């Protein structure tokens, strides 16, 4: 059978002007990635206000993420979109403020701790299976996966849903994404970051709601049984910098938990939804994955110990994040002049780390746009540059929650594939990028007991 070529966006052959770029970014940021970014390791241009470079070659990305990381701090525009909700937490801070938080938080996500959370992930997978089994007709999978991963994060970070109105919080997240989370004309015009953007003002009530709810959940835990539950919130309450003994202030804790909840559940849900979408269009691959899951699980839900026996399901997830990386583009500032691929990079230029194009690049992948989980067979991974596949970033700022995300995604995907067969039932979705890459208008599938 021919490989399935899933939908992508038409890349512009000519660079867009400032206003056209802004319009495109607000609608779908993938539509500003020029076609030559899929054939060249670096593309540069100017908006008239400043110079920019898009880097999508493994050598250049290694230089920025690792070898010369201090020269490329996170871009102020990206930070601005997040700061009102997550303050100067791990994701949004730099320098000494970042370093001590990373030292304190990395052990919270050590594999032993993440392993201890797996039983809650298994229960969530069971609940998701029950919800899908009760569905009457086609199901919109993005919504279902968001609900499943939100369920996990509520359990492990907020002592379950009983202290927490998940509907109210979910509505606040959506409002936040469409207000604060959209690039503004004021960013393109390079206006100072202390001037509030209109979206930021419109999103303030959503941020207040989210903060109030997370603060209440933290307080409920402080009052009840801290140190007893061995979950993410417990570990964060105890977290300290091993070098200095410094602990999180209530504000640090609030902002970091807030980031884990919003970023952690949306990205993982998208990886799952895209995986099921791709498998629904490749029944051969789905039969392989189903067989693998069924042999190990029979009728039960997956646990952490089952995952090593489901390598093809892990490969499918990795392939889905190659074609549709939940985080498709990152931006960095430049502190001191530098050179990349012989090109001059100046102080104050903006550098985009173009993960989406890296993952579909003609120089590095055979059939870059085709769905093929064999891309992640161990021999193929071994012969590839590690910087050719970067869904979680790399270097010192690599995603601290990657273990956690992979574990919950594999547990949920394996459980669902053992129980159901999925077929397409709605329009082919297009990838649309704002902060993350989402399928638009969603992924609608029919499912039957397998
Ligand atoms: C499939 C799911 C996920 C994807 C694709 C993803 C992707 C990423 C990427 C690309 C970065 C690097 C950003 C940069 O260099 O500018 C990052 C950082 C980060 N991620 Fe994730 N992430 C996922 C899940 C999670 C989860 C579940 C959590 C926590 C519960 C989390 C917490 C973080 C944090 C705190 C950082 C900042 C680390 C630092 O700067 O030291 N992520 N993530």
Structure confidence at residue 343 (pLDDT)? 96
Pick the CATH number of 18-449 from 1.10.630.10, 3.40.640.10, 3.40.1190.20, 3.30.70.360: 1.10.630.10
CB 447 within 8 A of CB 137: no
Out of 102-111, 174-183, 355-364, least confident range: 174-183
- Position 188 pLDDT exceeds 60: no
- Position 226 pLDDT exceeds 90: no
Q: What is the mean pLDDT of residues 205-209?
A: 89
102-150 pLDDT tens trace: 999 999 999 999 999 999 999 999 999 999 999 999 999 999 999 999 9
pLDDT band, very low/low/confident/very high, at 47 (cuts 50, 70, 90) = confident
Give the span between the Cα atoms of 280 and 318, in whole angstroms: 16
- DSSP-assigned states of every residue in 2-34: PPP-----PPPSS---HHHHHHHHHHHGGGGS-
167-177 pLDDT tens trace: 788 888 878 87
Would you say the CB of residue 273 lies under 6 angstroms from ligand 1?
A: no
Instruction: Select from 233, 401, 411, 433 the residue to mutate for testing ligand 1; criterion: most ligand atoms less than 8 Å from CB.
Output: 401
Give the span between the Cα atoms of 223 and 239, in whole angstroms: 18
Whole-Å CA distances, 252 to 14, 85, 157, 259: 44, 12, 15, 11
Beta-strand (E) ranges in 172-317?
Answer: none
pLDDT band, very low/low/confident/very high, at 230 (cuts 50, 70, 90) = confident
Q: What is the mean pLDDT of residues 368-379?
A: 98
Give the span between the Cα atoms of 428 and 6, in whole angstroms: 9
231-252 pLDDT tens trace: 888 889 889 999 999 999 999 9
Would you say the CB of residue 207 lies under 6 angstroms from ligand 1?
A: no
- pLDDT > 70 in the chain, percent: 92
Would you say the CB of residue 268 lies under 6 angstroms from ligand 1?
A: yes
Structure confidence at residue 196 (pLDDT)? 60
Would you say the CB of residue 259 lies under 6 angstroms from ligand 1?
A: yes
Structure confidence at residue 234 (pLDDT)? 87
pLDDT band, very low/low/confident/very high, at 224 (cuts 50, 70, 90) = confident
Structure confidence at residue 26 (pLDDT)? 77
Domain boundaries, the chain: 18-449
Q: What is the mean pLDDT of residues 370-394?
A: 98
Largest interatomic CA distance in the chain: 61
286-344 pLDDT tens trace: 999 999 999 999 999 999 999 999 999 999 999 999 999 999 999 999 999 999 999 99
If you measure from the C-alpha of residue 118 to the centroid of ligand 1, how many angstroms do you get, rounded to a whole number? 19
Would you say the CB of residue 395 lies under 6 angstroms from ligand 1?
A: no
Would you say the CB of residue 157 lies under 6 angstroms from ligand 1?
A: no
CB 253 within 8 A of CB 140: no
Instruction: Tell me which residue has its CA closest to atom 18 in ligand 1.
Output: 399
Could you tell me how far CA 228 lies from the centroid of its own chain? 30
- Position 6 pLDDT exceeds 70: yes
- Position 437 pLDDT exceeds 90: yes
- DSSP-assigned states of every residue in 241-279: -TTT--B--HHHHHHHHHHHHHHHHHHHHHHHHHHHHHH
Q: Which residues of 405-437 are buried (b: 16+ CB within 10 A; e: fewer)?
A: bbbbbbbbbbbbbbbbbbeeebeebbbbbbbbb
pLDDT band, very low/low/confident/very high, at 27 (cuts 50, 70, 90) = confident
Coil, helix or strand at residue 233: helix
Q: What is the mean pLDDT of residues 67-85?
A: 88
* Ligand 1 atom with the shortest distance to the CA of 391: 5
- pLDDT > 90 in the chain, percent: 70
396-429 pLDDT tens trace: 999 999 999 999 999 999 999 999 999 999 999 9
DSSP designation for 301: P
Q: What is the mean pLDDT of residues 260-264?
A: 87
- Within 52-110, residue ranges assigned H as helices are 58-62, 76-86, 95-105
The residues that bridge with 422 in the sheet, in sequence order, are 447
Structure confidence at residue 221 (pLDDT)? 82
Average pLDDT, the chain: 90
Count CB neighbours of 192 within 10 A: 7
pLDDT band, very low/low/confident/very high, at 193 (cuts 50, 70, 90) = low
CB 262 within 8 A of CB 173: yes
């Amino acid at each position: 059978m021919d490989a399935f070529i899933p939908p992508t966006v038409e890349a512009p052959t000519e660079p867009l002007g400032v206003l056209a770029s802004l319009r495109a970014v607000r609608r779908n940021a993938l539509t500003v990635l020029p076609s030559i970014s899929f054939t060249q390791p670096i593309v540069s241009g100017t908006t008239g206000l400043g110079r920019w470079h898009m880097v999508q070659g493994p050598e250049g990305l290694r230089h920025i993420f690792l070898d010369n990381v201090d020269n490329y701090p996170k871009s102020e525009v990206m930070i601005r979109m997040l700061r009102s909700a997550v303050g100067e937490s791990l994701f949004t801070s730099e320098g000494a403020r970042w370093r001590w938080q990373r030292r304190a938080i990395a052990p919270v996500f050590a594999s032993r701790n993440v392993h201890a959370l797996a039983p809650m992930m298994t229960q969530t997978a069971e609940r998701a299976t029950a919800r899908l089994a009760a569905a009457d007709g086609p199901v919109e999978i993005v919504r279902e996966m968001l609900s499943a991963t939100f369920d996990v994060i509520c359990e492990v970070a907020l002592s379950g849903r009983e202290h927490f109105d998940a509907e109210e919080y979910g509505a606040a997240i959506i409002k936040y994404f469409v207000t604060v989370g959209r690039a503004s004309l004021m960013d393109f015009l390079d206006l100072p970051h202390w001037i509030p953007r209109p979206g930021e003002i419109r999103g303030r009530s959503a941020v207040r709601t989210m903060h109030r709810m997370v603060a209440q959940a933290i307080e409920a835990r402080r009052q009840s049984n801290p140190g007893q539950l061995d979950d993410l919130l417990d570990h964060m309450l105890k977290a300290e910098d091993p070098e200095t003994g410094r602990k999180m202030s209530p504000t640090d804790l609030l902002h970091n938990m807030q980031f884990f909840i919003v970023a952690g559940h949306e990205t993982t849900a998208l990886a799952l939804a895209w995986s099921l979408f791709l498998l629904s269009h490749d029944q051969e691959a789905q039969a392989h994955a189903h067989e693998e899951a069924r042999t190990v699980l029979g009728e039960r839900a997956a646990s952490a110990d089952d995952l090593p026996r489901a390598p093809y399901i892990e490969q499918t997830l990795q392939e889905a994040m190659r074609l549709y990386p939940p985080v498709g583009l990152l931006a960095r500032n430049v502190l001191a002049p530098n050179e990349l691929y012989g090109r001059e990079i100046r102080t104050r230029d903006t550098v985009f780390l173009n993960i989406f194009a890296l993952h579909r690049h003609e120089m590095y992948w055979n059939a870059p746009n085709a769905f093929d989980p064999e891309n992640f067979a161990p021999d193929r991974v071994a012969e590839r540059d590690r910087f050719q596949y970067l869904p979680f970033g790399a270097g010192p700022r690599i995603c601290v929650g990657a273990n956690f995300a992979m574990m919950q995604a594999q547990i949920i995907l394996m459980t669902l594939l053992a129980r159901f067969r999925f077929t397409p039932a709605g329009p082919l979705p297009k990838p649309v990028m704002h902060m993350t890459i989402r399928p638009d208008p969603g992924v609608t599938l029919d499912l039957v007991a397998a």
